[in-house]
């Protein structure tokens, strides 16, 4: 028999506006009820276009958008996403399952400007979250023109179509690579940018500059440029996470694949840096913390903020060997590694000063290193070979 207790349920539409939806009799208010409320108010939710929303960071932001009451519309060309049933990214298919929702998806490349026009004619977007682009540092050195064509031309197409359709709010997925070799630590937003060490970083910097210039020319535009450091981890469900295609370019996916048995050993490039143990130090941030930072940025746009730049990091650096030990602890497995020569262009230490984001966005990273590694290991354990042949249920 149900209790006669009632609950007043609100859905947040903006920072200052709450809409009373209903009073529901219930025994306890759980995610099932929340889903029904969300489903009944989808027509009222603000639509956000998510470019590259099938990838690692984009898919986690889709989760946070839905849980924050927004309605994401996702476009992706599968360059960094795994195709699932129905020609939908497997990440989105799984999100639909564990959030009991539906996500509108369009397979689209930002180089296809007419296709982009059709999406904007169909929807009235509140804002755009722009993740789409090529992202491998090493590959960018080998194929610079491809990176400039895809990342820059795609972004120009997006900004032009946004302008044509009166969509003037954007959150851009930038990177700490725009800082180049650190002149000081920790790195805050006043640190000089643009001395990038690879074409990938250059494209991020150039896109930032394009957005800044456009915001100066068009006073009704608002943009938040998020420079993030080293995202790791996965959603707590273990259903979505980072699934590099081929040999991982980033440390933690490689470490996890060694732990699960997909790789023989890790190469540690250099152990003679001026750091705690001689190996490189980086600022690692949980991908869910990162995704929540994007929601905070979206809220910032509502203040008619102009163009703002924020670091998203923890402010704490960990060495390669500290990360290896942390993964050994949570996995219960020995992770084999060997010391290799330094790589050209690598630096000793890089970590953020995230205080500005805390002050102006009200955002601060919540998850510690152990939690990052626990969630990464849960994802890797449930999906030993990634999305294609994962066992997550």
Phi, psi of 72 (to 5 degrees): -75, 140
Report helix angle 251-260 to 320-331, nearest 10. 40
* Closest CA relative to residue 39, chosen from 96, 84, 108: 96
Among residues 250, 153, 181, the alpha carbon closest in space to that of 241 is found at: 250
Distances (CA, A) of 133 to 142, 171, 173, 211, 214: 16, 14, 10, 16, 20
C-alpha to C-alpha distance for 279 and 228, rounded to whole angstroms: 21
CA dihedral 114, 119, 124, 128 (to 10 degrees): -90
Residue 200 among the catalytic residues: yes
Residue 148 DSSP class:
I
- Selection from 189, 199, 196, 200 nearest residue 307 by Cα: 189
Q: Which of 56, 200, 284, 351 is catalytic?
A: 200
The number of beta carbons lying within 10 Å of the beta carbon of residue 389 is 8
Provide the annotated active-site residues: 200
């Amino acid at each position: 028999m149900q209790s006669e207790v009632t609950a007043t349920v609100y859905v947040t539409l903006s920072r200052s506006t709450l809409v009373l939806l209903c009073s529901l009799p219930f025994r306890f208010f759980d995610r099932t009820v929340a889903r029904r409320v969300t489903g009944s108010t989808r027509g009222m939710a603000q639509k956000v276009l998510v470019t590259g929303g099938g990838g690692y960071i984009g898919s986690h932001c889709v989760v946070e958008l839905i849980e924050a009451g927004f309605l994401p519309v996702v476009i992706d060309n599968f360059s960094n996403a795994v195709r699932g049933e129905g020609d939908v990214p497997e990440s989105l298919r799984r999100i639909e399952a564990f959030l009991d929702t539906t996500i509108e998806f369009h397979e689209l490349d930002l180089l296809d400007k007419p296709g982009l026009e059709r999406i904007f004619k169909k929807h009235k977007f509140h804002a755009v979250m722009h993740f789409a682009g090529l992202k491998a540092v090493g590959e960018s050195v080998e194929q610079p023109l491809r990176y400039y064509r895809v990342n820059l031309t795609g972004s120009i197409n997006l900004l032009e179509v946004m302008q044509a359709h009166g969509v003037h709010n954007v959150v851009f997925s930038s990177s700490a690579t725009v800082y180049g070799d650190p002149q000081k630590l920790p790195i805050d937003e006043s640190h000089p940018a643009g001395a990038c060490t690879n074409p990938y970083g250059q494209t991020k910097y150039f896109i930032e500059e394009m957005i800044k210039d456009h915001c100066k020319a068009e006073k009704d535009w608002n943009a938040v440029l998020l420079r993030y450091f080293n995202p790791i981890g996965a959603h707590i469900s273990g259903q979505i996470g980072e699934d590099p295609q081929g040999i991982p370019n980033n440390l933690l996916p490689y470490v996890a694949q060694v732990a699960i048995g997909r790789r023989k050993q890790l190469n540690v490039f250099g152990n003679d840096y001026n750091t705690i143990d001689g190996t490189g130090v980086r600022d690692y941030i949980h991908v869910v913390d990162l995704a929540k930072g994007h929601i905070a940025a979206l809220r910032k746009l509502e203040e008619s903020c102009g163009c703002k730049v924020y670091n998203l990091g923890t402010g704490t650096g960990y060495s390669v060997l500290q990360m290896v030990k942390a993964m050994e602890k949570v996995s219960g497995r020995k992770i084999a590694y060997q010391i290799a020569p330094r790589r050209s262009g690598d630096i000793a230490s890089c970590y953020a000063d995230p205080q500005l984001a805390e002050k102006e966005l009200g955002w601060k990273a919540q998850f510690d290193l152990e939690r990052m590694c626990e969630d990464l290991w849960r994802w890797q354990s449930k999906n030993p070979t990634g999305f294609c042949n994962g066992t997550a249920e």
